[in-house]
Structures are given as structure tokens and as C-alpha cells.
Amino acid sequence: MKLSRVLIPGVLACAVLSACADEAPESPVGARPVEGATMSAKAAESITIDDGGTVSDLLDGINADLAAKGAPLRAFKAELIVDPKEWDGSSTTIFADDRVRGLSSEWVAGDPRRDGRVGVTYAFDLAGRRPVVLTPSGTQRFATFAEVETQLEEGMTAWRDETCSDASITRVPVPTGVDPDLLDNLFLGVAEVPGRSYAQVSDIVQAGWQPTAFFTAFAGAAGTGILGVAFTFSFVDDDGELTDIDGNGKRDTGLVEIYYTQRYLWTNSGAPGLVDFYSIITHETGHSLGLAHFGKLFVTRRDIGDGVQLSDIKYAPLALMNAAYVTGRGEIVGTDRSSFCQIWASKN
């Protein structure tokens, strides 16, 4: 679901929050189904979900701050996956009915502001916080940095392996002492890793896992149910107006930062009741490449009579880019592939 408001990262006052990468997060939620319904009825009380909607005063402040600094980017949209506990069981039977395959912002092939790249570059922030995983013996521990890197790379590779486009999706390193992502420090008010200075090193940044406070900072109480979020930034001209230099009717993407929550237990096995690395990472990476949510998710009136159960939810069609994640491992299927190719085949 879109959190739509023009926003750009800036410098905010520090909050009193710890930022140690190995600090244990709040007790992770696990052993129960999670759903990626993009927005619940409860969440919608505090977040307007159309392109003119207001996210929060915090994001407005970030916009104003970086606009004053002459920053060349604005972030106007955030694509969410959330937990179904926010669903209030009202009589509404349609969770989502998304039929637009692409976002309203796209990467421009050969964009001179990105050094003329046809494809995109990406980087991992592997120096920060990590998720908690459930071991085969039933114990909980932090994922290792190597495990995190493997899971992130698998999600990126899934789209790079699509054969309809020759546009490169290339990993670049993060230089020593560089912080490759902005919003974590801004929303939490403290440095995730002391001593690093921000620099944009890539087009897409897999920014890692954050505590719940990160998500509630921009989404309020609804942030407790967010599994992952991709913030899309777009270029602006010297007058601060969003640009469309290739004339395709879409804003020009200049940066995407992706964040995941530490609040849940994660797995790479698709185990029921846990959050699957591949499903969420590949879904959010799809957003970073310009794919929107797609498909209709609904329950029948007969099923809704005793309350909404995860087993009641129906998909038309079932796809990785559906607006809901229930449980298990998702895969790139027909509509995901056609959406990707619709965007990227022309960028060869």
C-alpha cells in the first residue's frame, strides 16, 4: 500500500534510543500466521492511502528540511507489507484490488543524473541491525551477517535472472566508514553505527532490519504491524519540481531504500507462522524496480460470517506482488514476470 506524500530525508533532533547493532530487539512475534495486507482498517485511521494522502508530520518535516538544503531528491511513496492483526473484521470483503502493474515513478534508462546507467546499482548495509531467526532446535538468535547477505542477494538475484531484460542490476560495495542509508538515523534520531557518514552509493539500498520504533516514527501506531517498506525517492529540478525527463508520464526515480522489521521471527524455509526472507525481500525489491501491487484479494460473504480467517482469503491471481503475504514462501509467477518485463524490456 502506498504511503504517499512527497518526502525527502533530512536531519532531525535525536531521540533517546539505543542503536547497537547487536542489541536484542523487543521480543519477536512468531509462531502465528502473518499477512502482508497492505493496509488494515485500523491502520487507515492514521494513514490516508491515496497519492495525495498525508503520512505524518515527521515526513513533512523531512521534506521541508531537505528542500531547504537543496537536495535533488524527493521521496513520494512507501510500499508496505503489514501484519493481519490490524484487520478489524469489518464487513468489507475486498482487501485490495490493484490493477496497475507499475508505480507512478520509474528508473530512466541512461539518466545522466545516475551516470547514464541503463540498469540500476544496489548495495547492502551489512553493518547494522539484524533479524532474529528461529533455529531448528527451537531457539532464537540473531542472524549472522553472512546469512543476511545471502538472503538479500537471493531476493535481488530473483529479478536479475528474469530474461526479458538485459538491463544490469549490479551490486556495488559500501566504502569503509560510509553509511549508505539515511532514513534509519532520521527516524530513530541516532546513528545505527557510530562514526559513519552518509553518502549515496547506489540506486537501491537494502538498508536492513530496524526496531518497531523506526516504523512507528513515520506511520504511528500502524507501524507496529509493518513487515517491510520500500521508500521511493524521485528527482526534482532546480525549482523543486518532480521531473519526467523521458516524457513517459512518470516521475524519475533516483533512489530506493528498503527496510525490514526486527519485530518478527524470520526464516528461510517458508515455515508456517514465521516471516519468510525470500517472500518479503523479493516483494519489496520488486517495488524498488518499479513494480506495484497487483491482484484482487477478497473473502466471500459466506466465509466472513464467522470472522476473517487467513484460510478465507482468495487471490485473483495469486502472485508474489499481491498486496498480502499470508505465510510460507512465495515465488515470482506470471503476473509478476509480465509486470517486470513491461517495465524493463524497453530498457535494454
Give the pLDDT confidence of 85-133 residue by residue, as tens digits. 444 444 334 444 445 556 789 999 999 999 999 999 999 999 989 999 9
Provide the percentage of residues in the chain whose pLDDT is more than 70.
66
Question: Which among 302, 288, 294 has a CA at the least distance from the CA of 324?
Answer: 294
Provide the percentage of residues in the chain whose pLDDT is more than 90.
40
Q: For the purposes of burial, counting CB atoms within 10 Å of the CB of 224, is it exposed (0-12), middle (13-18) or buried (19 or more)?
A: buried
CATH number of the domain to which 52 belongs: 3.40.390.10
pLDDT at 34: 39
Rounded CA-CA distance 123/110 in Å is 20
Of residues 139 and 125, more confidently modeled? 125
Entry pTM:
0.80
Rounded CA-CA distance 348/346 in Å is 6
pLDDT at 129: 93
Note the Cα 35 to chain centre separation in Å. Answer: 15
| Mean of the per-residue pLDDT values of the chain | 75
Tally of domains in the chain: 1
Of residues 136 and 80, more confidently modeled? 136
User: Which residue intervals of the chain are DSSP H helices?
Assistant: 57-68, 145-160, 183-188, 212-219, 277-288, 301-304, 334-344
Average pLDDT rounded to a whole number, residues 278-283? 94
Residue 212 and residue 223 in contact, taking contact as beta carbons nearer than 8 Å? yes
Residue 191 — very low, low, confident or very high, per pLDDT cuts 50/70/90? confident
pLDDT at 325: 73
Residue 223 — very low, low, confident or very high, per pLDDT cuts 50/70/90? confident
Which tens digit of pLDDT belongs to each residue from 166-181? 999 999 999 999 999 9
pLDDT at 133: 93
Which tens digit of pLDDT belongs to each residue from 264-276? 899 988 887 788 9
Phi then psi dihedrals of residue 254, to 5 deg: -125, -15
Question: Which among 123, 93, 98 has a CA at the least distance from the CA of 256?
Answer: 123
Rounded CA-CA distance 229/280 in Å is 10
pLDDT at 160: 95
Cell 524498488 sits at which residue?
288
Note the Cα 316 to chain centre separation in Å. Answer: 23
Average pLDDT rounded to a whole number, residues 50-76? 60
Reduce the DSSP state of residue 28 to 3 states and report it: coil
Domain span including residue 49 = 2-347
Residue 278 and residue 329 in contact, taking contact as beta carbons nearer than 8 Å? yes
Return the minimum-mean-pLDDT range out of 49-58, 254-263, 297-306: 49-58
